[in-house]
């Protein structure tokens, strides 16, 4: 395909990294992102959900968010760090010449021939939009002319143990009960009221203690119950009922071949994945049909048709639902199933003392049991993804050809969640919208009209419709013997249309398909005595993005030693300013390469196989898909007094909204010595971001306090190093190794970004500050506790500041470092003996810091009940004198929230994020099939062990920096456990 081959030729003086099929096949997992983790310097891949390949924590497209939302909580990828504050940050992905909007999980890794990462300014001239974040160009396999059909089959199976729940640092039952007693004694939890519907749920031990203080139970009864609670550990039942060993399997079948005028590559793969959450699983089927035809012995026509189909069941109960600090946190003494095998019901909406009286008045059982929810869950998602492209290259005269390209993508996604009559959500909605009956009555009437035998059906239908068309002229020819000229020029149009509709059907009957008509604009009577609107009103969202581009590239090479390149691109985007001068932007680059090894003064240096210097400079562009030049209005809920719908302005008009620009300078060295037994690349780069999006204060008299505009700056720099070679090569033995090292940092260059009140009240999560990296971490300087158990901090003079006194200087805070490791990389080593190959893969990172997981908050009468089970709670201050032995503040006091924040975000909780991780050990064997049968050409058997753990970590707390285990995190994940996989690859 001409469009793909030209960048490869023109990359002579550009910064790119090439991953071939052999390197990708060394790691036989079902997701391409995991195979790339250790292949490319400058590319940082973060795996935050173990080895999940396509069953993500978030598999739903969110059209209101960034371009990438699927899998965002499971992995991330950055090329040379970040270049934006609010714009797109994920690299652009190109598959077989077309920019794709699909997640990388839609690609079968076994179909990939090679991957090229473009990292410098040249990426913009080739691919335009979002090239500032780097470009990953994926080329899938194709057939081979004049080759008889060859069939390839592979199978892989992997299993790993259930995750280690003990990794979460939580209190035991006795510590938790003692904590609850203190909260009650100090009046931090409101006394429950069994006579009203407004009482918040409280933990069982808290309720018992209130009853003891009220005299409704005896001390002996209280102690008997507490003794039972103390003997329990709820982790046992969570492990038993909700966690499981994860497993996955994948099968691939491919055939390739060709004749004189055509070739083909066809493949199909099936993968099944079962993560560690019971009730969650997924299946994936991919199909690839690639063809190449020679027309009239002149023109070349290539086609590619791909399909990726997913069937997901998302019925698992997340760890967040157990451990997230709230009024209904699953306490260490709670049970899912009691000692007699009966399922235990818990109150999740109101105080149990009142809620448990309702069934006698005609209400449904309002209890919650996680195991019941697992049994009744019916949450599925089906995604059908299609892509097709066609490329025609027609020679015109010698060296000159014309290319036409068209590509399209379609996604049809249906997420279906059905709450049957036994599910907690259905029972909760029925009871919530059932007013209390009159005194003495035993029957109730649901104000919505929900009846037994029905349920609530929630549907989300998402479509993605993208197309890309390109026309260009290509020139590639030699002039004489010393001059080589390569050039292209063309135009491209691209459009993406995403739509999403949400519908909720109340009283839906699965047998008849009939639901209850409801009015989302009329509030309904509730059990609380006031009216409330229903959630789930039908919505439809659509977004259209259009791009128009003109581009030109040229390269000149003299005597195969000196190369000059130049490129320009003019991109237009419909969602920028009303004037074309804001919508469109020119992007350009230039470069030079000197192949030193071909100079005459090195012709006698036979040990130098390759030595070349290259440099590029240019500008890349970037956008934000969430910003618009016009006023952005959102329709809201119903206004209770009038019953009319409401609307709000999300963002004011900004007619000058335009592209972000990043200027990139790159100097590189490519080398190979001793017949390339030692080889590598070194790149040094500098980036300057201009016109970056940022939200700055606006005069409040305009009706808005902030406006996001192109007015900020950022600089960055770094080093990419990849060095490898053959250490031993003797007879049947071969030892090879490759080391990747990357350094990247950035700096905010905007004097308007200064410390403010948020910086001093919450420094760890404060806004960006000029002169520091975007991922800077500021913390308080801890000075211990005062006599009342409140946190003290030092100011800039070394004076101790109490919790009721503010700081106003940045010098009073401590700059702890960066939360993203500036130094990272990998080491791959392979030892081959005859037909056996042993390989080890290690990753490392240095220079980052993180905050140790600790208490997120104490309950207060104002903010409500919230039980945090962090082990640090057991170390809290309780009485005068404790300040001599602990730094964890106490629960009470008018300044307690400030005190706790200053403890959480203080230097004593900062840990180093440095580590060396042994990612994988594998052993493969090339089976000598030629001695067994002629029907099989090659056969390989492999065994691999992944996630072997940390070989070394700078922090001595036993915390994996990639999985901090913060109980208040929105995506509470556990470190991946050791997995064992077996693979078989056969070629016929």
| pLDDT on residue 932 | 85
Torsion of CA 26, 28, 33, 34, to 10 degrees: -80
| pLDDT on residue 4 | 44
DSSP 199: P
Angstrom distance (rounded) from CA 274 to CA 248: 6
Instruction: Assign 517 to helix, strand or coil.
Output: coil
Predicted TM-score (pTM) of the model is 0.91
Angstrom distance (rounded) from CA 505 to CA 377: 17
| pLDDT on residue 65 | 66
Strands (E), 119-191: 135-140, 147-160
Q: Is the CB of residue 616 less than 8 Å from the CB of residue 666?
A: yes
Which of these, 234, 477, 180, lies nearest to 346 by C-alpha position? 234
With 0-12 / 13-18 / 19 or more C-beta atoms within 10 angstroms meaning exposed / middle / buried, residue 350 is buried
Angstrom distance (rounded) from CA 168 to CA 965: 6
Q: Is the CB of residue 841 less than 8 Å from the CB of residue 38?
A: yes
Find all residues with CB under 8 Å of 743, minimum gap 6, and list them.
718, 719, 822, 823
Distances in whole angstroms, Cα of residue 727 to Cα of each of 23, 137, 177, 835:
18, 31, 61, 18
Distances in whole angstroms, Cα of residue 134 to Cα of each of 16, 130, 183, 664:
10, 8, 52, 11
Token pair recorded at residue 735: 């030892």
CA–centroid distance for 514 within its chain? 38
Strands (E), 480-583: 483-508, 524-525, 531-532, 539-558, 562-573
Q: Is the CB of residue 645 less than 8 Å from the CB of residue 638?
A: yes
CA–centroid distance for 102 within its chain? 14
Instruction: Assign 370 to helix, strand or coil.
Output: helix
Token pair recorded at residue 751: 């004097």
Which of these, 147, 108, 102, 142, lies nearest to 25 by C-alpha position? 108
* Interstrand relation of 92-95 and 135-140 (parallel, antiparallel or unpaired): parallel
Angstrom distance (rounded) from CA 414 to CA 833: 51
Angstrom distance (rounded) from CA 505 to CA 509: 9
* Interstrand relation of 483-508 and 346-347 (parallel, antiparallel or unpaired): unpaired
Find all residues with CB under 8 Å of 623, minimum gap 6, and list them.
87, 88, 129, 130, 573, 575, 576, 659, 660
| pLDDT on residue 16 | 62
pLDDT along the chain (988 residues), means of 10: 42 60 71 86 87 85 75 88 89 92 92 91 72 89 94 95 92 97 94 85 96 95 96 96 95 96 96 94 96 94 97 94 94 96 95 92 94 96 96 95 96 96 96 88 85 92 95 93 93 94 94 92 90 91 91 93 93 81 86 92 89 94 85 73 76 85 94 93 95 86 82 95 94 94 96 92 92 96 96 96 94 96 96 95 96 93 90 96 96 90 97 96 93 89 94 94 85 87 94
Angstrom distance (rounded) from CA 694 to CA 627: 11
């Amino acid at each position: 395909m001409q469009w793909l081959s030209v960048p490869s030729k023109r990359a002579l003086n550009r910064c790119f990294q090439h991953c071939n099929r052999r390197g990708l096949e060394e790691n036989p997992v079902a997701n391409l992102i995991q195979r790339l983790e250790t292949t490319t310097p400058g590319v940082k891949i973060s795996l935050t959900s173990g080895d999940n390949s396509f069953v993500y924590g978030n598999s739903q497209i969110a059209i209101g968010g960034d371009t990438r939302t699927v899998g965002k909580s499971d992995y991330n990828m950055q090329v040379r760090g970040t270049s934006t504050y609010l714009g797109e940050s994920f690299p652009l992905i190109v598959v077989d010449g077309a920019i794709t909007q699909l997640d990388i999980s839609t690609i079968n890794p076994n179909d990939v021939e090679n991957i090229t990462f473009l990292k410098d300014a040249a990426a913009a001239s080739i691919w335009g939009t979002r090239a500032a974040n780097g470009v990953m160009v994926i080329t899938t396999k194709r057939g081979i002319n004049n080759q008889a059909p060859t069939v390839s089959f592979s199978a892989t199976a992997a299993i790993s143990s259930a995750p280690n729940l003990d990794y979460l640092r939580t209190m035991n039952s006795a510590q938790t009960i003692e904590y609850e007693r203190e909260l009650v004694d100090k009046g931090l939890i409101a006394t429950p009221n069994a006579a009203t519907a407004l009482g918040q749920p409280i933990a069982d031990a808290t309720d018992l203690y209130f009853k003891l203080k009220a005299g409704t139970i005896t001390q002996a009864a209280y102690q008997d119950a507490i003794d039972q609670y103390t003997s329990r550990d709820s982790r046992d039942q969570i492990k038993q009922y909700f966690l499981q060993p994860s497993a996955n399997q994948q099968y691939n079948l491919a055939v390739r071949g060709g004749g004189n005028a055509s070739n083909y590559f066809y493949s199909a793969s099936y993968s099944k994945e079962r993560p560690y959450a019971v009730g969650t699983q997924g299946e994936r089927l991919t199909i690839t049909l690639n063809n190449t035809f020679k027309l009239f012995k002149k023109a070349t026509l290539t086609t590619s048709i791909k399909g990726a189909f997913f069937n997901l069941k998302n019925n698992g109960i997340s760890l967040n639902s157990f451990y997230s600090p709230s009024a209904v946190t699953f306490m260490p003494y709670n049970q899912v199933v009691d000692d007699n095998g009966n399922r235990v019901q818990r109150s999740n909406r109101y105080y149990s003392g009142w809620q448990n009286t309702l069934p006698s008045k005609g209400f449904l059982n309002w209890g919650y049991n996680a195991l019941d929810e697992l049994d009744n869950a019916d949450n599925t998602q089906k995604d059908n993804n299609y892509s097709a492209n066609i490329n025609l290259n027609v020679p015109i005269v010698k060296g000159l050809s014309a290319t036409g390209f068209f590509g399209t993508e379609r996604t049809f996604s249906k997420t279906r969640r059905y709450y049957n009559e036994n599910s907690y959500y259905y029972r909760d909605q029925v009871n919530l919208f059932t007013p209390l009956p009159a005194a003495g009555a035993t029957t109730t009437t649901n104000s919505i009209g929900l009846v037994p035998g029905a349920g609530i059906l929630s549907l989300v239908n998402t479509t993605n419709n993208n197309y890309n068309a390109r026309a260009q002229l290509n020139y590639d020819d030699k002039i004489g013997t010393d001059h080589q000229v390569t050039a292209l020029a063309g135009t491209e149009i691209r459009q993406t249309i995403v739509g999403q509709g949400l519908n909720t059907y109340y009283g839906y009957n699965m047998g008849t398909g009939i639901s209850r008509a409801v009015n989302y604009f009329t509030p309904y009577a509730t059990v609380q005595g006031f009216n409330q609107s229903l959630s789930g009103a039908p919505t439809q969202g659509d977004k259209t993005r259009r791009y128009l581009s003109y581009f030109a590239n040229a390269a000149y090479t003299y005597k195969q030693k000196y190369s000059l390149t130049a490129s320009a691109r003019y991109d237009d985007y419909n969602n920028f300013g009303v004037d074309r001068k804001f919508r469109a932007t020119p992007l350009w680059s230039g470069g030079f390469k000197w192949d030193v090894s071909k100079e005459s003064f090195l012709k006698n240096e036979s040990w130098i196989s390759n030595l070349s210097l290259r440099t590029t400079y240019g500008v890349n562009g970037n956008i934000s898909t969430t910003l618009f030049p016009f006023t952005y209005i959102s329709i809201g809920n119903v206004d209770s007094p009038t019953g009319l719908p409401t609307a709000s302005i999300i963002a004011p008009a900004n007619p000058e909204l335009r592209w972000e620009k990043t200027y990139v300078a790159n100097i590189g060295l490519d080398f190979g010595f001793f017949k390339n037994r030692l080889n590598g690349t070194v790149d040094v780069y500098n980036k300057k971001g201009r016109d970056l999006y940022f939200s700055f204060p606006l005069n409040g008299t305009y009706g808005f306090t902030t406006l996001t505009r192109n007015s900020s700056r950022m600089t960055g720099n770094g080093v990419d190093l990849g060095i490898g070679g053959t250490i031993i090569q003797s007879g049947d033995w071969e030892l090879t190794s490759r080391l990747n090292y990357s350094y990247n940092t950035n700096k905010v260059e905007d004097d308007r970004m200064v410390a403010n009140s948020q910086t001093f009240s919450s420094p760890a999560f404060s806004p960006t500050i000029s002169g520091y990296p975007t991922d800077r971490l500021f913390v308080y300087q801890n000075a211990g506790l005062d006599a009342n158990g409140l946190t003290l901090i030092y100011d800039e003079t070394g004076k101790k500041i109490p919790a009721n006194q503010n700081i106003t200087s940045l010098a009073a805070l401590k700059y702890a470092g960066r939360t993203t490791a500036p130094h990272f990389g990998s080491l791959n080593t392979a030892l081959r003996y005859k037909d056996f190959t042993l390989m080890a893969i290690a990753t490392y990172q240095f220079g980052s810091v993180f905050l140790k997981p600790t208490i997120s908050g104490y309950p207060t009468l104002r903010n409500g009940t919230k039980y945090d089970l962090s082990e640090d709670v057991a170390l809290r201050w309780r009485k005068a004198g404790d300040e001599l032995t602990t730094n964890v503040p106490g629960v009470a006091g008018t300044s307690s929230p400030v005190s706790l924040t200053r403890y959480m975000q203080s230097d004593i909780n900062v840990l180093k994020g440095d580590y060396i991780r042994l990612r994988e050990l594998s052993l493969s064997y090339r089976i000598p099939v030629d001695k067994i049968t002629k029907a099989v050409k090659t056969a390989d058997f492999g065994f691999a062990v992944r996630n072997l753990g940390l070989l070394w970590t700078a922090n001595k707390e036993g915390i994996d920096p990639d999985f901090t285990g913060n109980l208040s995190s929105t995506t509470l994940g556990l470190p991946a456990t050791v997995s064992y996989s077996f693979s078989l690859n056969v070629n016929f």
